[in-house]
Amino acid sequence: MKFLITGGAGFIGSHLADELINGGHEVIVLDNLSTGRLENVSHLGKGRNFELVVGTILNENLVDKLIEKSDVIFHLAAAVGVELIVKKPLESLTTNIRGSEIVLEMTERYHKKILITSTSEIYGKNINGPLKEDDDRILGSPLKTRWSYSTAKAVDEMLAYVYWKQMQVPSIIVRLFNTVGPRQTGAYGMVLPRFVEQALKNEPITIYGSGKQSRCFIHVTDVVKTLVKLIGNQNAVGEVFNVGSQEEVTIEQLANEVIRITKSSSKLVYIPYEKAYEEGFEDMQRRVPDTNKINKLIGFKPAYSLKEIIEDIVKHRQ
Ligand code: UDP
């Protein structure tokens, strides 16, 4: 099969490209290299099975051409990373909303199948856990830029769902919870690559807020294997799935675990949110996925523990 991956030079997209090519498929990557990087896909070369197209999902003609010649679309292209979104909210809104609209429109035009990645940011400040796919979204004011990402991705989800309901475009939505692993950069705010980098340099580990907020981290390999299983499952069409680990850890515990594994002499420093992001910044205190739905469909269970994830990131950095 020939797969188009939008955002395929990014962290998750490039691992997905690896997985598909290893499975004997052909892959076209469309990426504007804004947060994606050439080095993430350079090992795939210019072989018969792989093509990199540098361009944006906002380019309708290009998206039209690429979707026409693909069998299935993985739509991962998005402006991501809390820090990036706070700094560049306009890009986040236009890329994520208009870009997805274009991709879906062309998918409908050529009657193709599509999987769209969404985010646990959808749930906003809902700290009930574990969060089910149909749980409420609790968001702050639209004037707080942090919520622009959650809102844009919710529009993407609605579009994908409505294209399925109204136009019968076979679409699958996946909400990813804190995906981490080799190739992820800390440049756009993601916590784990930052902590590992800081620990390896014996520099202070920057904890935002109290450090009592918690997250669940999943290895990117577990994520991409799940995406490939889902796209091949007819019962996934028209559905939304949480994909994430249920191993909950506070950010403070995470920092200590990174220090222990790297044998670092780094100390913890606590930085108030308004200094780390912007005045009035609101963080989620907790975010745990309920994964019963996907478990029932495909027997989902992450293979990597948090300890193994950190070790794998360290191994690939040294
Ligand atoms: N965080 C932190 N130090 C950093 C970067 C992030 O303490 O250098 C915190 C951040 O405030 C949040 C958590 O780590 O509470 C996870 O942040 P990330 O941006 O990785 O993911 P998300 O907030 O989207 O879950």
Residue 318 has pLDDT above 70, yes or no: no
pLDDT-based confidence at residue 188 (cuts at 50, 70, 90): confident
Residue 262 has pLDDT above 90, yes or no: yes
pLDDT score for 56 = 96
Which residue's C-alpha comes closest to atom 20 of ligand 1?
190
Residue 135: CATH number of its domain? 3.40.50.720
Residue 4 has pLDDT above 90, yes or no: yes
Q: What atom of ligand 1 comes closest to residue 82's alpha carbon?
A: 19
Task: Supply the range of the domain harboring residue 124.
Answer: 2-180+218-246+288-302
Q: Is 178 in the pocket of ligand 1 (CB under 6 A)?
A: yes
Q: Mind listing the pLDDT tens digit for each residue in 49-68?
A: 999 999 999 999 999 999 99
Q: Is 206 in the pocket of ligand 1 (CB under 6 A)?
A: yes
Number of domains forming the structure of the chain: 1
Q: Would 211 be classed as within a structural domain?
A: no
Q: Which of 191, 217, 257 to mutate to test the pocket of ligand 1 (most atoms within 8 A of CB)?
A: 191
Q: Mind listing the pLDDT tens digit for each residue in 271-302?
A: 999 898 888 888 889 999 999 999 999 999 99
Residue 104 has pLDDT above 90, yes or no: yes
Q: For all residues of the chain together, what is the average pLDDT?
A: 95
Residue 138 has pLDDT above 90, yes or no: yes
Q: Would 47 be classed as within a structural domain?
A: yes
Q: Would 23 be classed as within a structural domain?
A: yes
Q: Would 97 be classed as within a structural domain?
A: yes
Q: Would 258 be classed as within a structural domain?
A: no
Quote the percentage of the chain above a pLDDT of 70. Answer: 99
Q: Would 311 be classed as within a structural domain?
A: no
Q: Would 231 be classed as within a structural domain?
A: yes
- Strand 214-216 versus strand 248-250 pairing type: antiparallel
Cβ atoms of 120 and 135 within 8 Å: the answer is no
Q: Would 192 be classed as within a structural domain?
A: no
Q: Mind listing the pLDDT tens digit for each residue in 143-166?
A: 888 888 899 999 999 999 999 999
Highest mean pLDDT: which range of 65-74, 122-131, 274-283: 65-74
Q: CA nearest 122: which of 242, 8, 219?
A: 242
Q: Which of 80, 198, 207, 208 to mutate to test the pocket of ligand 1 (most atoms within 8 A of CB)?
A: 208
